[in-house]
Amino acid sequence: MLFNLRSRGDKVGDMVVDDREHLIQEEKRRIRRLRVLVDLTTSVLYQDAALTLEEAQQLVRGAEKAILKMFPDKQQTFDLVLRPRFERILRERWGQLAPS
């Protein structure tokens, strides 16, 4: 939605709102991609019966790389939120894990 912030015919207000709206839409798109990536990775880890532990760990590393490419400054968030989730799935399927 475009809000007209102009006063006396000033076009700058429209551009600022357009830029902000574009940034918001871009962030929403990246968040959707993040959700899909995490959901697909989780699904493969749980459901692919032929997946080896090494392949699963590579899949998690690939997901991490893709996530940090989308959100470069979020390594700590990944480590606090997503890494434990992925490691729990790996432990559930393959038992106690050696550090990767």
What was the pLDDT predicted at 4? 46
pLDDT greater than 50 at residue 69:
yes
Three-class SS of the chain: CCCCCCCCCCCHHHHHHHHHHHHHHHHHHHHHHHHHHHHHHHHHHHHCCCCCHHHHHHHHHHHHHHHHHHCCCCHHHHHHHHHHHHHHHHHHHHCCCCCC
What was the pLDDT predicted at 16? 73
Read off the pLDDT of each residue in 72-79 and give the average, rounded to a whole number.
Answer: 96
pTM for the whole structure: 0.77
| pLDDT tens per residue across span 48-59 | 999 999 999 999
